[in-house]
Chain A
Amino acid sequence: MLKLENVFVAYGHIQAVRGISLTVPDHSVVALLGANGAGKSTVLRAVSGLVKPREGNIWYKEERLTRLRPPRIAALGIIHCPEGRHVFTDLTVDENLIIGGYARRDKASLRRDRDWILGLFPALAARLRQRAGNLSGGEQQMLAIGRALMGAPQVLLLDEPSLGVSPRIAHLIAQVIGQIRSHGTAVLLVEQNSAIALSVADYAYVLQTGQIRLQGTAEELRHNKEVEASYLG
Protein backbone atom coordinates (compact mmCIF):
# COMPACT_ATOMS: atom_id res chain seq x y z
CA MET A 1 0.00 0.00 0.00
CA LEU A 2 1.26 3.44 -1.00
CA LYS A 3 0.44 6.18 1.47
CA LEU A 4 0.94 9.96 1.38
CA GLU A 5 0.64 11.88 4.65
CA ASN A 6 0.15 15.63 4.57
CA VAL A 7 2.58 16.21 1.70
CA PHE A 8 3.66 19.75 0.77
CA VAL A 9 5.74 20.44 -2.36
CA ALA A 10 7.00 23.79 -3.59
CA TYR A 11 8.97 24.88 -6.64
CA GLY A 12 10.83 27.91 -5.37
CA HIS A 13 8.15 30.14 -3.96
CA ILE A 14 5.28 28.44 -5.74
CA GLN A 15 3.36 25.99 -3.58
CA ALA A 16 2.29 23.25 -5.98
CA VAL A 17 0.96 20.74 -3.47
CA ARG A 18 -0.41 21.83 -0.12
CA GLY A 19 -1.05 19.11 2.40
CA ILE A 20 -2.22 16.09 0.47
CA SER A 21 -2.94 12.75 2.14
CA LEU A 22 -4.05 9.77 0.12
CA THR A 23 -3.68 6.02 -0.09
CA VAL A 24 -3.33 3.61 -2.97
CA PRO A 25 -4.31 0.13 -1.71
CA ASP A 26 -2.74 -2.94 -3.34
CA HIS A 27 -4.49 -4.21 -6.46
CA SER A 28 -6.51 -1.04 -6.95
CA VAL A 29 -6.70 1.81 -9.43
CA VAL A 30 -6.80 5.24 -7.82
CA ALA A 31 -7.39 8.31 -9.97
CA LEU A 32 -6.17 11.84 -9.31
CA LEU A 33 -8.38 14.30 -11.11
CA GLY A 34 -8.30 18.04 -11.48
CA ALA A 35 -7.64 20.94 -13.82
CA ASN A 36 -4.31 21.86 -15.34
CA GLY A 37 -1.99 23.11 -12.64
CA ALA A 38 -3.94 21.55 -9.80
CA GLY A 39 -0.77 19.74 -8.67
CA LYS A 40 -1.55 16.24 -9.92
CA SER A 41 1.72 15.62 -11.71
CA THR A 42 3.62 17.06 -8.76
CA VAL A 43 2.12 14.40 -6.52
CA LEU A 44 3.53 11.70 -8.83
CA ARG A 45 6.89 13.46 -9.02
CA ALA A 46 7.03 13.51 -5.23
CA VAL A 47 6.26 9.81 -5.01
CA SER A 48 8.92 8.83 -7.55
CA GLY A 49 11.47 11.13 -5.90
CA LEU A 50 11.92 13.64 -8.72
CA VAL A 51 10.99 16.39 -6.25
CA LYS A 52 11.43 16.28 -2.50
CA PRO A 53 8.46 17.34 -0.37
CA ARG A 54 8.93 20.27 1.99
CA GLU A 55 6.80 18.55 4.58
CA GLY A 56 4.98 15.30 5.04
CA ASN A 57 5.81 11.67 4.41
CA ILE A 58 5.35 9.15 1.68
CA TRP A 59 5.34 5.49 2.68
CA TYR A 60 5.39 2.31 0.67
CA LYS A 61 4.85 -0.64 2.99
CA GLU A 62 7.43 -0.04 5.73
CA GLU A 63 9.74 2.09 3.56
CA ARG A 64 9.82 5.88 3.80
CA LEU A 65 10.19 7.02 0.18
CA THR A 66 10.83 10.65 1.06
CA ARG A 67 14.40 9.72 1.98
CA LEU A 68 15.22 7.84 -1.22
CA ARG A 69 16.54 8.85 -4.62
CA PRO A 70 14.52 8.06 -7.77
CA PRO A 71 16.48 4.97 -8.87
CA ARG A 72 16.05 3.41 -5.40
CA ILE A 73 12.32 4.09 -5.49
CA ALA A 74 12.08 2.55 -8.95
CA ALA A 75 13.92 -0.52 -7.67
CA LEU A 76 11.26 -0.90 -4.96
CA GLY A 77 8.72 -1.39 -7.73
CA ILE A 78 7.22 2.08 -7.84
CA ILE A 79 7.44 3.03 -11.47
CA HIS A 80 6.60 6.45 -12.81
CA CYS A 81 5.41 6.75 -16.39
CA PRO A 82 5.83 10.51 -16.89
CA GLU A 83 3.55 12.96 -18.60
CA GLY A 84 4.39 13.65 -22.21
CA ARG A 85 5.62 10.06 -22.66
CA HIS A 86 9.33 10.85 -22.63
CA VAL A 87 10.29 7.77 -24.56
CA PHE A 88 13.96 7.69 -25.56
CA THR A 89 13.48 8.74 -29.17
CA ASP A 90 17.04 7.91 -30.29
CA LEU A 91 16.74 4.37 -28.96
CA THR A 92 14.80 1.59 -30.67
CA VAL A 93 11.50 0.35 -29.31
CA ASP A 94 13.26 -2.77 -28.12
CA GLU A 95 15.98 -0.76 -26.35
CA ASN A 96 13.34 1.36 -24.64
CA LEU A 97 11.79 -1.81 -23.25
CA ILE A 98 15.18 -3.11 -22.13
CA ILE A 99 15.85 0.18 -20.32
CA GLY A 100 12.47 -0.23 -18.64
CA GLY A 101 13.71 -3.46 -17.07
CA TYR A 102 17.09 -1.96 -16.20
CA ALA A 103 16.82 -2.54 -12.45
CA ARG A 104 15.87 -6.20 -12.82
CA ARG A 105 18.26 -9.12 -13.15
CA ASP A 106 16.03 -12.16 -13.57
CA LYS A 107 16.14 -12.93 -17.30
CA ALA A 108 13.28 -15.44 -17.25
CA SER A 109 10.75 -13.15 -15.62
CA LEU A 110 11.90 -10.26 -17.81
CA ARG A 111 11.18 -12.34 -20.90
CA ARG A 112 7.78 -13.33 -19.53
CA ASP A 113 6.86 -9.69 -18.85
CA ARG A 114 8.08 -8.64 -22.24
CA ASP A 115 5.87 -11.17 -23.96
CA TRP A 116 2.92 -10.06 -21.84
CA ILE A 117 3.53 -6.39 -22.73
CA LEU A 118 3.87 -7.08 -26.44
CA GLY A 119 0.61 -8.97 -26.15
CA LEU A 120 -1.03 -5.89 -24.60
CA PHE A 121 0.34 -3.67 -27.36
CA PRO A 122 0.72 -5.69 -30.55
CA ALA A 123 1.53 -2.46 -32.43
CA LEU A 124 4.86 -2.37 -30.59
CA ALA A 125 5.71 -5.97 -31.41
CA ALA A 126 5.71 -5.08 -35.09
CA ARG A 127 8.14 -2.19 -34.59
CA LEU A 128 10.74 -3.47 -32.19
CA ARG A 129 13.69 -2.39 -34.31
CA GLN A 130 12.45 1.07 -35.20
CA ARG A 131 13.63 4.23 -33.55
CA ALA A 132 11.08 5.24 -30.95
CA GLY A 133 11.18 8.75 -32.42
CA ASN A 134 9.55 7.41 -35.57
CA LEU A 135 6.47 6.12 -33.73
CA SER A 136 3.18 7.98 -33.75
CA GLY A 137 2.04 9.76 -30.59
CA GLY A 138 -0.30 6.94 -29.64
CA GLU A 139 2.38 4.32 -30.20
CA GLN A 140 4.83 6.34 -28.13
CA GLN A 141 2.30 6.39 -25.29
CA MET A 142 1.96 2.61 -25.54
CA LEU A 143 5.72 2.32 -25.49
CA ALA A 144 5.97 4.56 -22.43
CA ILE A 145 3.47 2.37 -20.59
CA GLY A 146 5.13 -0.81 -21.83
CA ARG A 147 8.53 0.49 -20.74
CA ALA A 148 7.16 1.25 -17.27
CA LEU A 149 5.64 -2.23 -17.05
CA MET A 150 9.05 -3.74 -17.84
CA GLY A 151 10.08 -2.48 -14.41
CA ALA A 152 7.63 -4.97 -12.87
CA PRO A 153 5.77 -2.28 -10.94
CA GLN A 154 4.05 -2.95 -7.65
CA VAL A 155 2.60 0.51 -8.04
CA LEU A 156 2.40 2.19 -11.45
CA LEU A 157 2.29 5.99 -11.45
CA LEU A 158 0.62 6.83 -14.73
CA ASP A 159 0.55 10.48 -15.78
CA GLU A 160 -1.99 11.64 -18.38
CA PRO A 161 -1.91 8.58 -20.64
CA SER A 162 -4.80 9.88 -22.73
CA LEU A 163 -3.22 13.25 -23.45
CA GLY A 164 -2.80 13.87 -27.15
CA VAL A 165 -3.85 10.41 -28.35
CA SER A 166 -6.85 9.46 -30.44
CA PRO A 167 -10.07 8.37 -28.68
CA ARG A 168 -9.51 4.86 -29.99
CA ILE A 169 -6.12 4.62 -28.32
CA ALA A 170 -7.40 6.29 -25.16
CA HIS A 171 -9.97 3.55 -24.98
CA LEU A 172 -7.33 0.87 -25.54
CA ILE A 173 -5.21 2.36 -22.77
CA ALA A 174 -8.19 2.32 -20.41
CA GLN A 175 -8.63 -1.37 -21.13
CA VAL A 176 -4.94 -2.00 -20.55
CA ILE A 177 -5.13 -0.27 -17.16
CA GLY A 178 -7.77 -2.81 -16.17
CA GLN A 179 -5.48 -5.63 -17.29
CA ILE A 180 -2.57 -4.17 -15.38
CA ARG A 181 -4.64 -4.22 -12.21
CA SER A 182 -5.66 -7.82 -12.72
CA HIS A 183 -1.95 -8.55 -13.21
CA GLY A 184 -1.52 -7.54 -9.55
CA THR A 185 -0.26 -3.97 -9.96
CA ALA A 186 -1.81 -1.00 -8.21
CA VAL A 187 -2.18 2.12 -10.38
CA LEU A 188 -2.16 5.76 -9.37
CA LEU A 189 -3.62 7.42 -12.44
CA VAL A 190 -3.44 11.14 -13.15
CA GLU A 191 -5.99 12.28 -15.70
CA GLN A 192 -7.66 15.39 -17.00
CA ASN A 193 -10.17 13.27 -18.82
CA SER A 194 -12.34 12.36 -15.85
CA ALA A 195 -14.73 10.20 -17.87
CA ILE A 196 -11.95 7.81 -18.88
CA ALA A 197 -10.38 7.84 -15.44
CA LEU A 198 -13.60 7.15 -13.57
CA SER A 199 -14.43 4.32 -15.94
CA VAL A 200 -11.38 2.35 -14.79
CA ALA A 201 -10.74 3.65 -11.25
CA ASP A 202 -11.95 2.21 -7.96
CA TYR A 203 -11.46 5.36 -5.98
CA ALA A 204 -10.65 8.93 -6.94
CA TYR A 205 -9.41 12.19 -5.49
CA VAL A 206 -10.17 15.58 -7.04
CA LEU A 207 -7.40 18.15 -6.66
CA GLN A 208 -7.78 21.89 -6.77
CA THR A 209 -4.87 24.32 -6.34
CA GLY A 210 -2.77 21.72 -4.59
CA GLN A 211 -5.37 20.46 -2.14
CA ILE A 212 -7.86 17.64 -2.14
CA ARG A 213 -11.28 19.05 -2.74
CA LEU A 214 -13.30 15.86 -3.12
CA GLN A 215 -12.81 12.15 -2.76
CA GLY A 216 -14.91 9.07 -3.08
CA THR A 217 -15.44 5.88 -5.00
CA ALA A 218 -15.53 6.20 -8.76
CA GLU A 219 -19.20 5.34 -8.62
CA GLU A 220 -19.95 8.25 -6.27
CA LEU A 221 -17.89 10.76 -8.21
CA ARG A 222 -19.32 9.84 -11.56
CA HIS A 223 -22.60 11.40 -10.50
CA ASN A 224 -21.14 14.34 -8.63
CA LYS A 225 -21.62 17.74 -10.25
CA GLU A 226 -18.72 19.20 -8.30
CA VAL A 227 -16.24 17.13 -10.28
CA GLU A 228 -17.14 19.06 -13.39
CA ALA A 229 -17.04 22.33 -11.48
CA SER A 230 -13.54 21.69 -10.19
CA TYR A 231 -12.21 21.74 -13.74
CA LEU A 232 -13.48 25.22 -14.21
CA GLY A 233 -11.51 26.30 -11.14
Chain B
Amino acid sequence: MGQVLETGIAMGSLYSLMALGMVLIFRTTNVVNFAQGAMAMMSTYIAFAFLTSLHWPVWAALIAAMASSLALGALVERVFIDHSSRPSAPIASLIITLGLYSVLEGVATIIWGANPTAFPWTLNGIFWHRGHLVVSTNDAATFAVTLILVVGLFALLRWTRIGLAMRAMAQDASTAQLMGISLAKISSSTWALGSALGAVSALFLLPITYLQPTMMDTALLLAFSAAVLGGFSNLPGTLLGGLIVGVLESLVGVYVSNQLQNTVVFALIIVVLYLRPQGLLGRHDIKKV
Protein backbone atom coordinates (compact mmCIF):
# COMPACT_ATOMS: atom_id res chain seq x y z
CA MET B 1 0.00 0.00 0.00
CA GLY B 2 2.75 2.44 0.96
CA GLN B 3 4.54 1.56 -2.23
CA VAL B 4 1.41 2.13 -4.27
CA LEU B 5 1.04 5.57 -2.74
CA GLU B 6 4.71 6.40 -3.30
CA THR B 7 4.49 5.46 -6.97
CA GLY B 8 1.24 7.38 -7.29
CA ILE B 9 2.69 10.52 -5.78
CA ALA B 10 5.77 10.31 -7.99
CA MET B 11 3.67 9.91 -11.13
CA GLY B 12 1.22 12.50 -9.86
CA SER B 13 3.99 15.07 -9.43
CA LEU B 14 4.78 14.70 -13.10
CA TYR B 15 1.14 15.07 -14.11
CA SER B 16 1.02 18.15 -11.90
CA LEU B 17 3.96 19.70 -13.71
CA MET B 18 2.32 19.08 -17.08
CA ALA B 19 -0.98 20.43 -15.83
CA LEU B 20 0.57 23.51 -14.22
CA GLY B 21 2.09 24.36 -17.58
CA MET B 22 -1.25 23.96 -19.31
CA VAL B 23 -3.19 25.95 -16.73
CA LEU B 24 -0.61 28.73 -16.83
CA ILE B 25 -0.93 28.92 -20.60
CA PHE B 26 -4.71 28.72 -20.44
CA ARG B 27 -5.10 31.40 -17.80
CA THR B 28 -2.74 33.85 -19.42
CA THR B 29 -3.52 33.39 -23.10
CA ASN B 30 -6.93 31.69 -22.96
CA VAL B 31 -5.75 28.81 -25.12
CA VAL B 32 -5.87 25.22 -23.99
CA ASN B 33 -2.81 23.50 -25.32
CA PHE B 34 -3.66 20.02 -26.57
CA ALA B 35 -0.16 19.82 -28.02
CA GLN B 36 1.42 20.07 -24.56
CA GLY B 37 2.27 16.36 -24.45
CA ALA B 38 3.45 16.17 -28.05
CA MET B 39 5.69 19.20 -27.59
CA ALA B 40 7.22 17.61 -24.49
CA MET B 41 7.73 14.36 -26.40
CA MET B 42 9.61 16.30 -29.08
CA SER B 43 11.98 17.70 -26.47
CA THR B 44 12.87 14.26 -25.16
CA TYR B 45 13.61 13.11 -28.71
CA ILE B 46 15.84 16.13 -29.14
CA ALA B 47 17.76 15.12 -26.01
CA PHE B 48 17.93 11.60 -27.47
CA ALA B 49 19.29 12.91 -30.76
CA PHE B 50 21.96 14.97 -29.04
CA LEU B 51 23.00 11.96 -26.94
CA THR B 52 23.10 9.32 -29.64
CA SER B 53 23.85 11.13 -32.88
CA LEU B 54 26.06 13.95 -31.66
CA HIS B 55 27.41 12.11 -28.60
CA TRP B 56 26.98 15.06 -26.31
CA PRO B 57 27.40 14.48 -22.58
CA VAL B 58 24.18 13.86 -20.67
CA TRP B 59 24.04 17.22 -18.93
CA ALA B 60 24.51 19.08 -22.20
CA ALA B 61 21.83 17.03 -23.95
CA LEU B 62 19.39 17.71 -21.13
CA ILE B 63 20.13 21.43 -21.28
CA ALA B 64 19.62 21.32 -25.03
CA ALA B 65 16.26 19.60 -24.50
CA MET B 66 15.14 22.22 -22.03
CA ALA B 67 16.29 25.05 -24.28
CA SER B 68 14.50 23.52 -27.22
CA SER B 69 11.30 23.15 -25.22
CA LEU B 70 11.40 26.81 -24.22
CA ALA B 71 12.00 27.79 -27.82
CA LEU B 72 9.30 25.46 -29.12
CA GLY B 73 6.76 26.92 -26.70
CA ALA B 74 7.53 30.48 -27.74
CA LEU B 75 7.59 29.52 -31.40
CA VAL B 76 4.23 27.79 -31.29
CA GLU B 77 2.72 30.80 -29.57
CA ARG B 78 4.18 33.23 -32.11
CA VAL B 79 3.36 31.28 -35.24
CA PHE B 80 0.12 29.46 -34.56
CA ILE B 81 -1.97 31.10 -31.91
CA ASP B 82 -4.76 33.44 -32.89
CA HIS B 83 -4.32 36.65 -30.94
CA SER B 84 -7.32 38.41 -32.30
CA SER B 85 -10.27 39.10 -30.07
CA ARG B 86 -12.67 37.43 -32.51
CA PRO B 87 -15.22 35.35 -30.59
CA SER B 88 -14.10 32.26 -32.50
CA ALA B 89 -10.41 32.78 -31.64
CA PRO B 90 -10.30 30.37 -28.65
CA ILE B 91 -11.89 27.61 -30.73
CA ALA B 92 -9.57 28.25 -33.65
CA SER B 93 -6.57 28.09 -31.32
CA LEU B 94 -7.85 24.93 -29.69
CA ILE B 95 -8.22 23.23 -33.07
CA ILE B 96 -4.77 24.42 -34.08
CA THR B 97 -3.19 22.86 -30.99
CA LEU B 98 -5.02 19.61 -31.81
CA GLY B 99 -3.59 19.80 -35.31
CA LEU B 100 -0.15 20.44 -33.91
CA TYR B 101 -0.46 17.41 -31.67
CA SER B 102 -1.22 15.26 -34.70
CA VAL B 103 1.60 16.78 -36.77
CA LEU B 104 4.24 16.42 -34.06
CA GLU B 105 3.37 12.78 -33.36
CA GLY B 106 3.40 12.04 -37.06
CA VAL B 107 6.72 13.78 -37.62
CA ALA B 108 8.32 12.00 -34.66
CA THR B 109 7.10 8.67 -36.01
CA ILE B 110 8.51 9.41 -39.47
CA ILE B 111 11.90 10.44 -38.10
CA TRP B 112 12.37 8.01 -35.21
CA GLY B 113 9.83 5.24 -35.83
CA ALA B 114 6.90 4.13 -33.71
CA ASN B 115 8.68 1.51 -31.60
CA PRO B 116 9.41 2.23 -27.96
CA THR B 117 13.10 2.80 -27.35
CA ALA B 118 14.86 2.90 -24.01
CA PHE B 119 16.38 6.27 -23.32
CA PRO B 120 20.17 5.73 -23.25
CA TRP B 121 20.55 7.34 -19.86
CA THR B 122 18.45 6.73 -16.77
CA LEU B 123 18.67 7.38 -13.07
CA ASN B 124 19.13 3.82 -11.87
CA GLY B 125 19.16 2.39 -8.44
CA ILE B 126 17.45 2.85 -5.14
CA PHE B 127 17.61 6.08 -3.25
CA TRP B 128 16.08 4.94 0.01
CA HIS B 129 14.23 1.91 1.37
CA ARG B 130 12.68 0.64 4.56
CA GLY B 131 10.89 -2.66 4.72
CA HIS B 132 8.85 -3.03 1.58
CA LEU B 133 8.86 0.67 0.79
CA VAL B 134 11.37 1.56 -1.90
CA VAL B 135 12.05 5.00 -3.28
CA SER B 136 13.94 4.71 -6.55
CA THR B 137 16.50 7.31 -7.51
CA ASN B 138 14.28 8.42 -10.36
CA ASP B 139 11.38 8.97 -7.97
CA ALA B 140 13.56 10.84 -5.50
CA ALA B 141 14.79 13.09 -8.28
CA THR B 142 11.19 13.54 -9.42
CA PHE B 143 10.17 14.71 -5.95
CA ALA B 144 13.12 17.07 -5.68
CA VAL B 145 12.68 18.58 -9.12
CA THR B 146 8.92 18.96 -8.73
CA LEU B 147 9.37 20.67 -5.41
CA ILE B 148 11.97 23.05 -6.80
CA LEU B 149 9.91 23.86 -9.88
CA VAL B 150 6.66 24.35 -8.00
CA VAL B 151 8.27 26.62 -5.41
CA GLY B 152 10.09 28.44 -8.21
CA LEU B 153 6.90 28.86 -10.19
CA PHE B 154 4.95 30.25 -7.26
CA ALA B 155 7.83 32.60 -6.41
CA LEU B 156 8.03 33.73 -10.01
CA LEU B 157 4.35 34.54 -10.11
CA ARG B 158 4.38 36.17 -6.71
CA TRP B 159 7.51 38.25 -6.72
CA THR B 160 8.88 38.91 -10.17
CA ARG B 161 7.97 41.55 -12.71
CA ILE B 162 7.19 39.00 -15.39
CA GLY B 163 5.15 36.87 -12.99
CA LEU B 164 3.09 39.85 -11.97
CA ALA B 165 2.56 40.73 -15.62
CA MET B 166 1.39 37.16 -16.29
CA ARG B 167 -1.15 37.38 -13.50
CA ALA B 168 -2.32 40.79 -14.66
CA MET B 169 -2.68 39.55 -18.22
CA ALA B 170 -4.54 36.46 -17.04
CA GLN B 171 -7.08 38.66 -15.37
CA ASP B 172 -7.55 41.50 -17.81
CA ALA B 173 -5.31 41.51 -20.85
CA SER B 174 -6.63 44.72 -22.32
CA THR B 175 -6.01 46.73 -19.16
CA ALA B 176 -2.60 45.10 -18.73
CA GLN B 177 -1.66 46.53 -22.12
CA LEU B 178 -2.52 50.00 -20.87
CA MET B 179 0.05 49.54 -18.11
CA GLY B 180 2.77 49.16 -20.71
CA ILE B 181 2.78 45.35 -20.61
CA SER B 182 3.51 43.82 -23.99
CA LEU B 183 1.01 41.00 -24.35
CA ALA B 184 3.07 39.43 -27.11
CA LYS B 185 6.14 39.13 -24.89
CA ILE B 186 4.24 37.86 -21.87
CA SER B 187 2.29 35.31 -23.83
CA SER B 188 5.41 33.93 -25.56
CA SER B 189 7.13 33.71 -22.19
CA THR B 190 4.17 31.91 -20.69
CA TRP B 191 4.11 29.40 -23.53
CA ALA B 192 7.86 28.87 -23.21
CA LEU B 193 7.51 28.25 -19.49
CA GLY B 194 4.49 25.98 -19.88
CA SER B 195 6.23 23.98 -22.57
CA ALA B 196 9.34 23.58 -20.42
CA LEU B 197 7.29 22.25 -17.49
CA GLY B 198 5.87 19.65 -19.86
CA ALA B 199 9.35 18.70 -21.05
CA VAL B 200 10.61 18.13 -17.51
CA SER B 201 7.64 15.90 -16.89
CA ALA B 202 8.36 13.93 -20.07
CA LEU B 203 12.04 13.42 -19.18
CA PHE B 204 11.13 11.90 -15.83
CA LEU B 205 8.37 9.76 -17.32
CA LEU B 206 10.86 8.15 -19.74
CA PRO B 207 11.71 5.13 -17.53
CA ILE B 208 8.00 4.23 -17.51
CA THR B 209 6.77 5.23 -20.94
CA TYR B 210 9.99 4.70 -22.90
CA LEU B 211 10.81 6.93 -25.80
CA GLN B 212 8.02 6.74 -28.37
CA PRO B 213 5.88 9.24 -30.25
CA THR B 214 2.79 8.41 -28.20
CA MET B 215 4.66 8.43 -24.88
CA MET B 216 2.76 11.44 -23.54
CA ASP B 217 -0.77 10.54 -24.65
CA THR B 218 -1.85 9.08 -21.33
CA ALA B 219 0.02 11.76 -19.39
CA LEU B 220 -1.78 14.44 -21.39
CA LEU B 221 -5.15 13.04 -20.42
CA LEU B 222 -4.16 12.65 -16.78
CA ALA B 223 -2.75 16.17 -16.72
CA PHE B 224 -6.01 17.42 -18.18
CA SER B 225 -7.93 15.77 -15.39
CA ALA B 226 -5.55 17.36 -12.91
CA ALA B 227 -6.34 20.70 -14.51
CA VAL B 228 -10.07 19.96 -14.27
CA LEU B 229 -9.61 19.19 -10.57
CA GLY B 230 -7.93 22.57 -10.30
CA GLY B 231 -10.85 24.23 -12.05
CA PHE B 232 -8.48 25.16 -14.91
CA SER B 233 -7.42 28.21 -12.98
CA ASN B 234 -6.30 27.45 -9.47
CA LEU B 235 -2.61 26.49 -9.37
CA PRO B 236 -2.51 24.88 -5.91
CA GLY B 237 -5.70 23.02 -6.86
CA THR B 238 -4.02 21.79 -10.03
CA LEU B 239 -0.99 20.60 -8.09
CA LEU B 240 -3.21 18.71 -5.68
CA GLY B 241 -5.28 17.44 -8.60
CA GLY B 242 -2.20 15.95 -10.24
CA LEU B 243 -1.24 14.11 -7.07
CA ILE B 244 -4.78 12.75 -6.66
CA VAL B 245 -4.86 11.57 -10.26
CA GLY B 246 -1.46 9.91 -9.87
CA VAL B 247 -2.46 8.07 -6.71
CA LEU B 248 -5.79 7.05 -8.21
CA GLU B 249 -4.06 5.69 -11.31
CA SER B 250 -1.65 3.77 -9.15
CA LEU B 251 -4.41 2.31 -6.94
CA VAL B 252 -6.55 1.28 -9.88
CA GLY B 253 -3.53 -0.21 -11.63
CA VAL B 254 -2.68 -2.42 -8.67
CA TYR B 255 -6.07 -3.30 -7.23
CA VAL B 256 -8.41 -3.28 -10.24
CA SER B 257 -6.74 -3.51 -13.62
CA ASN B 258 -3.83 -1.76 -15.22
CA GLN B 259 -5.82 -1.34 -18.41
CA LEU B 260 -8.67 0.74 -17.08
CA GLN B 261 -6.82 3.95 -16.29
CA ASN B 262 -8.43 6.03 -19.03
CA THR B 263 -11.87 4.84 -18.08
CA VAL B 264 -11.34 5.69 -14.44
CA VAL B 265 -9.97 9.10 -15.37
CA PHE B 266 -12.95 9.75 -17.59
CA ALA B 267 -15.30 8.82 -14.77
CA LEU B 268 -13.35 11.11 -12.45
CA ILE B 269 -13.71 14.04 -14.85
CA ILE B 270 -17.47 13.47 -15.13
CA VAL B 271 -17.90 13.25 -11.37
CA VAL B 272 -15.86 16.39 -10.76
CA LEU B 273 -17.77 18.32 -13.41
CA TYR B 274 -21.06 17.33 -11.84
CA LEU B 275 -20.08 17.87 -8.22
CA ARG B 276 -17.37 20.54 -8.19
CA PRO B 277 -17.13 22.29 -11.54
CA GLN B 278 -15.08 25.08 -9.99
CA GLY B 279 -12.38 22.58 -9.02
CA LEU B 280 -11.21 21.30 -5.65
CA LEU B 281 -9.94 24.60 -4.29
CA GLY B 282 -11.70 26.89 -6.73
CA ARG B 283 -13.82 29.79 -5.69
CA HIS B 284 -17.34 30.03 -7.00
CA ASP B 285 -16.74 33.02 -9.25
CA ILE B 286 -15.42 30.94 -12.12
CA LYS B 287 -15.76 32.17 -15.65
CA LYS B 288 -18.81 30.65 -17.22
CA VAL B 289 -19.88 30.62 -20.82
- When chains A and B are docked, how far (Å) is the Cα of A86 from the Cα of B176? 10
Contact flag A50-B179 (CB < 8 Å), given A91-B167, A91-B168, A99-B165: no
Q: Which of A49, A90, A100 contacts B179 (CB 8 A)?
A: A100
- When chains A and B are docked, how far (Å) is the Cα of A80 from the Cα of B164? 19
Q: Which of B164, B172, B177, B180 contacts A50 (CB 8 A)?
A: B177
Number of interface residues of A (CB under 8 A): 24
B104-126: which residues lie under 8 A (CB-CB) from chain A?
none
What chain B residues lie within 8 Å of A151 (beta carbons)? 179-180
Cβ of B288 < 8 Å from any Cβ of A? no
Cβ of A70 < 8 Å from any Cβ of B? yes
- When chains A and B are docked, how far (Å) is the Cα of A79 from the Cα of B140? 50
What is the predominant secondary structure among interface residues of chain B facing chain A?
helix
Q: Which of A70, A75, A98, A147 contacts B164 (CB 8 A)?
A: A98
Q: Are A82 and B164 closer than 8 Å at their CB atoms?
A: no
Q: Are A102 and B165 closer than 8 Å at their CB atoms?
A: yes
Q: Are B171 and A102 closer than 8 Å at their CB atoms?
A: no
List, sorted by A's number, 5 A–B pairs whose CB atoms are closer than 8 Å: A82-B175, A88-B171, A95-B164, A98-B164, A102-B180
The 9 closest A-B pairs by CB, nearest first: A103-B180, A74-B180, A70-B177, A86-B175, A71-B182, A80-B178, A71-B180, A102-B179, A102-B180
New A-B contacts (14) at CB < 8 Å, excluding given A71-B177, A95-B164, A151-B180: A48-B178, A69-B182, A71-B181, A86-B175, A88-B168, A88-B172, A91-B171, A99-B168, A99-B179, A102-B164, A102-B180, A102-B181, A103-B179, A151-B179
Residues of A within 8 A of B (CB): 48-50, 69-71, 74-75, 79-80, 82, 86, 88-91, 95, 98-100, 102-103, 147, 151
